[in-house]
Amino acid sequence: MTKPILRLLFVLLICLITNVQAQDNKLVFSPHWMPQAQFAGYYIALDQGFYKEAGLDVEIIHPNASVNALNFLKEGKADIISLFLVTGLHAALNEVDLVNIAQISQHSAIMFVTKKSSGIDEPDKLRGKRIGVWKSGFKEVPMAMLNERQIDVEWVPILSSVNMFLLGGIDAMTVMWFNEYHQIYLCGIDENELNTFFMSDYGYDIPEDGLYVMRPTFAKRSDDLRAFVEATLRGWQFASENRDYTVNLVVEKMLKANIPTNKAHQQWMLDKVIETQQLNEKNLQAGKLLRSDFDKTLNILRLMEKNNDTIYFGDFYKPVMQPKTNQ
């Protein structure tokens, strides 16, 4: 072979290797809902190039009305997704071979809200009332909380709006502190006109958003996943320190996706989501899932499903980040 041909082959080989490498570092991430400030940390990590700096080529896709994030994961359309801990554990118990690689949220944001005019000012008064709950899920914790108190209610599935609650079609509504609660406020109901019941105040401070991958992905790409989690936490850190910038980024992203929104709401959401990530005496390490939270969630699901299905903590939780020795 002549030298020029050798050179050409060499160049081709280099290109091939580089390409393969790039292919290997590609990660598709899907949060479990449409774009909003709840996922600001991911958008920031992408926007600020934290993923790129970590050697990752991250693409963020979003679920829609017909496909949820878990489907993306199962079908291989996403390498990594975010799910509530209950949803993730529920999936694991239902034989979806996924693992939790990092627990981003540390606290519960789920709550009941009632109008003061309804007179419902304690959970007991919810007995026999119509309570709105998302049709798409997340009702396990509120249900467990009421079950524990043997309060029977009529659960009314709601798609996503707060209009049934506003119009009085339901007596109480299950809401997220960072989202629907503020939507109600943004429809003209003052905070002093509402009673709130935070799950966390009733012994159900179950952490929510966590990151999940299929077990084989974890086995094969733990380095990439660690890089992803670290860059994501960096993204959250940046978002926490640059909230105006972050809110603008989120709002821009939502408007591009034709999702009506405004800064006021996204600002609220960002602030409250960051609050749910705050570490405290309960948990001192970002991204860590506590055994106690796992056990409590497992217990809720068993009671809900009325079975004794189980999964080992060590099998479910595969932290990609090394625990910090000094903590």
Partner 1 sequence: MIKIRRNTLSFRIITRVLLITITLFIIILSVYYYQTRKIIIESTQANAIELAGNITGKIENVLQPIEKVPQMLSTSLEMGVFTRDSLILVLKTILNENPTIFGASIAFEPDYFPDKGRYFMPYVYRHGDTIKEIYLGDENYDYFYMDWYQIPTFFKEASWSEPYFDEGAGNVLMATYAVPFYCKKNRERHFAGIITVDLELEWLSGIVSEVEIYETGYTFLLSANGVAVTHPDKKQIMNKSIYSNAIEWNAPVMREIGRDLSKGVSRFRDYNIPGRQKQWIYYRNLQSNKWSIGVVYPDREIFAPLRNITTLLIVLFIAGLILLIVLTSGIINQLAAPLTLFSRTARTIAEGNFNATIPPVKTNDEMLELHQAFTHMQHQLAEYVENLKETTSAKEKIESELRIAREIQMAMIPHTFPPFPDLPQISLFARLKSAKEVGGDLYDFFILDKYKFCFAIGDVSGKGVPASLFMAVTRTLLRSISDKEKLASTIVGNLNKSLAFNNESNMFVTFFLGILDLETGWLHYSNAGHNPPVLISHEGKATMFETANAIPLGLFDDFNYTESKIRLSRGDMIFAYTDGVTEAENEKSELFGEEQMLRVLKNVDQPEPGILIEKMGAAIEEHVKGFLQSDDITMMTIKFNA
- The footprint of partner 1 (CB under 8 A) covers 65-66, 135, 157-159, 161, 163-164, 166-167, 169, 185-188, 190, 255, 258, 260-265, 267
With contact defined as beta carbons under 8 Å apart, do 50 and 234 qualify? Answer: yes
* Max CA separation in the chain (angstroms): 90
Three-state secondary structure call for residue 65: coil
Q: Are β-strands 80-84 and 209-214 bridged in parallel, bridged antiparallel, or unpaired?
A: antiparallel
In angstroms, what is the minimal distance from the CB of 130 to partner 1? 9
Within 10 angstroms of residue 320's Cβ, the number of other Cβ atoms is 21
Shorter beta-carbon distance to partner 1: residue 34 or 311: 34
In angstroms, what is the minimal distance from the CB of 137 to partner 1? 13
CA angle 200, 114, 156 (to 5 degrees): 90
Shorter beta-carbon distance to partner 1: residue 52 or 137: 137
Residue in the structure block whose two tokens are 């860059």 = 231
243-256 helix and 222-241 helix, angle to the nearest 10 degrees: 110
In angstroms, what is the minimal distance from the CB of 83 to partner 1? 20
Shorter beta-carbon distance to partner 1: residue 55 or 157: 157
Cα(130)–Cα(153) distance, integer angstroms: 6
Shorter beta-carbon distance to partner 1: residue 160 or 195: 160
Shorter beta-carbon distance to partner 1: residue 4 or 188: 188
Shorter beta-carbon distance to partner 1: residue 188 or 314: 188
In angstroms, what is the minimal distance from the CB of 268 to partner 1? 8
In angstroms, what is the minimal distance from the CB of 262 to partner 1? 4
Beta-bridged to residue 211, according to DSSP, are 82, 102
Q: Cβ-count burial of 43 within 10 angstroms (0-12 exposed, 13-18 middle, 19+ buried)?
A: buried
In angstroms, what is the minimal distance from the CB of 192 to partner 1? 12
In angstroms, what is the minimal distance from the CB of 74 to partner 1? 16
In angstroms, what is the minimal distance from the CB of 186 to partner 1? 5
With contact defined as beta carbons under 8 Å apart, do 289 and 81 qualify? Answer: no
Within 10 angstroms of residue 256's Cβ, the number of other Cβ atoms is 9
With contact defined as beta carbons under 8 Å apart, do 262 and 248 qualify? Answer: no
Cα distances from 326 to residues 233, 285, 323, in angstroms, run 19, 10, 9
Cα distances from 214 to residues 101, 285, 317, in angstroms, run 10, 24, 12
Shorter beta-carbon distance to partner 1: residue 192 or 322: 192
Shorter beta-carbon distance to partner 1: residue 255 or 284: 255
Shorter beta-carbon distance to partner 1: residue 50 or 185: 185
Beta-bridged to residue 82, according to DSSP, are 211
* Residue among 109, 112, 179 nearest 146 (CA): 112
In angstroms, what is the minimal distance from the CB of 203 to partner 1? 30
